[in-house]
Amino acid sequence: MKHAEAPIPTPRGVLFDFDGTLAPNLDLMDMRRQLVVMAEQTDIPRAVYQDLYIVEMIEAGSRWLGAHRSERQAQDYAQASQQRIIDIELAAAAETTLFPFVRTLLSRLNGESIRLGIVTRNCRAAIHRMFPDHEDYVQALHARDDVAHLKPDPRHLEVNLQALDVDPKEAVMVGDGILDMQAGLALQMHCVGVLSGSNDTEALVAAGAHKVLPDASQLADLF
Ligand SMILES: [Mg+2]
């Protein structure tokens, strides 16, 4: 594929996904399994949520309960489900450390005057727990609690790019997720997929990756 071989010009900014990219992935399958049990206990029909990401699944389930049961049930379900996600994220974060190359990589990119951001669907408290000194390395962090629209919605990346004062066309999106590539592509960013998370080369290229690396440690060599 021609676009997969195009060189990447030196960017002004690089946005990183977090889980699967800068740190080992969360067990999203187990999180989903727990959230499905909660939805089933509330009698939300599977068709309401089965094709959705976890956060969107809770929103859809809550909307359904509001329309078909009661506003009170909708609120209780949403609150309990959101709290379950946070509990899982914080428990995982307590046992997870950054990939060993991360601080070296980020320092090198900063040394080349490239501005850096993190865009993640994880919660801010979990990122603080795994990367307490992130402010020494990245200039903008937008976690789930910081934004109204989560990736693959490109507005999640846009708000980070605005904080960095970087044009998307002069920026690179790095992630292990299909939704990272989709969101980056929507903004005409250069998209670099990494295999340190939950997808293979074929899936990342199909989602829009211009380049795929084993992990992000080689990133600085691309520019
Ligand atoms: Mg990820």
Q: Give me ligand 1 centre to Cα 21, in Å.
A: 6
pLDDT(147) > 60: yes
114-123 residue pLDDT tens: 999 999 999 9
CB 171 within 8 A of CB 11: yes
What pLDDT shows up at residue 25? 94
Q: Give me ligand 1 centre to Cα 99, in Å.
A: 13
What pLDDT shows up at residue 6? 59
Q: What is the pTM of this model?
A: 0.93
Domain ranges within the chain, ordered by starting residue: 2-24+96-222, 28-94
**Which CA distances in Å does 185 have to 107, 181, 182, 208?**
26, 6, 5, 6
Sequence letter at residue 132: P
Q: Give me ligand 1 centre to Cα 40, in Å.
A: 27
Q: Give me ligand 1 centre to Cα 23, in Å.
A: 9
CB 190 within 8 A of CB 210: yes
Q: The domain 2-24+96-222 is classified under which CATH number: 3.40.50.2000, 3.90.1150.10, 3.40.50.970, 3.40.50.1000?
A: 3.40.50.1000
Distance, in Å, from the CA atom of 34 to the CA atom of 165, rounded to the nearest integer, reads 39
Write the CB contacts of 122 (distance below 8 Å, at least 6 apart in sequence).
18, 19, 26, 89, 93, 143, 144
Distance, in Å, from the CA atom of 155 to the CA atom of 148, rounded to the nearest integer, reads 9
159-197 residue pLDDT tens: 999 999 999 999 999 999 999 999 999 999 999 999 999
